[in-house]
Amino acid sequence: MPAQKGMEITASVRKGSGKTTELKRLAADEAIGEKFLPIYLTIQEFGSESVHLSHDALMVEIGLALGREGQRRGMDTELHENLANWGKEIVRTFLHDEAVQAEVGAKANAWLAFFKAQLSTRREWKAEEKQILEPRVRDLIDILNLMAADLYNKSGKRVLVFVDDIEKGESEAHREMHARIFEEHYDVLMQPRFSMVYTLPIYFRALPGNRIQSQELFAFSALRLYDQASKQEDDPPLDKNAEGYKFMRDFVESRLAEWGTVFGSEAVLEKLLLIGSGLFRETARSVRDAAYLALRRGAGERITMADADAVATRIKKEYQPMIRGDAEGVERGAREH
């Protein structure tokens, strides 16, 4: 395997921008597969409390994924053991319960559950504990590099890890997690000698202390539906020549057998595209919610402008808490719908 520094690409995204679909497409792309060994992970694999995710926990999960890929390719068992031994040592160092230490020593994979459990206590750590951890994180990176090198030797391909959905979550705790990983410990993320793609919230692009180099940061933003000069208008006229408008319209029409029988008029469809704001998830939701209102009136009813206006009003109400600074209210509203 080439002894060069791994490449890191960070995707800065808006929710609903089609990011996951695109990342999965890239992971399955034949041209990429000729040179790289794609490994796709999501934040859900790190546990239910992603706000506690740390730089070393992220590396552990990547190591476990490399190990799973290695099992399919005959990876040296010693590399699996090295990762497990690293985890056991960390648990024994920072969890002093004798029963826990006994269980970790007796069961092969018991360390992982205890390792994840202690992440929630990291905020209470003193400087001395952090100083003990950091040299061991470097040892962890060395283990990952050896695993990636083994995969390269067996497949002839460089490892390419996709870590998706890190950007999800709008609470202050999520923001602290993003800063903890991608600002405080950015250097750690750059140490593995294989390629990685991370996803981050769109606001990271404008952070004054952002350490991610511009050539490594790519935006999955909303598609452009109208001219920027019209952005401040309540109902900006759609630019029908814009690629974003054409793409989003095709996104809707391609999912309907006969779109002309669904919408009461061309203006209704355009209103729903405008409500969707160039985001796939919001556009799909706008059409779905409007269709539900039409179906309530009876089978065969078309979506009317009144339905579109009702959807717009509902969505505006959900975003009002964000304008007032009540992020938790936004999250509640999103869960309800």
Locate the domains of the chain by residue range.
8-220, 228-336
Mean pLDDT of 93-116: 73
Q: Which of 218, 284, 198 is nearest to 248 (CA)?
A: 284
DSSP assignment, residue 5?
A: P
Residue 238 backbone phi and psi in degrees, to 5: -70, 140
Mean pLDDT of 157-170: 84
**Consecutive H or E run containing 131:** helix 127-155
| Cα–Cα dist 81/108, whole Å | 9
Mean pLDDT of 235-264: 83
pLDDT at 282: 84
Above pLDDT 70, what percent of the chain? 76
Residue 3 pLDDT level (bands cut at 50, 70, 90): very low
Q: Which residue has the higher pLDDT, 201 or 282?
A: 282
| Cα–Cα dist 284/301, whole Å | 19
Mean of per-residue pLDDT scores for the chain: 79
Mean pLDDT of 112-127: 77
Its CATH architecture, for the domain 8-220, is 3-Layer(aba) Sandwich (3.40)
**Ordered DSSP codes for 184-206:** ITHHHHT-SSSEEEEEEEGGGGG
pTM assigned to the model: 0.67
Q: Where are the alpha helices (DSSP H) in 156-279?
A: 172-179, 186-189, 243-253, 266-276
Q: Which residue has the higher pLDDT, 62 or 331?
A: 62
pLDDT digits (tens, 9 = 90+) for 6-18: 545 544 444 544 5
Mean pLDDT of 223-251: 78
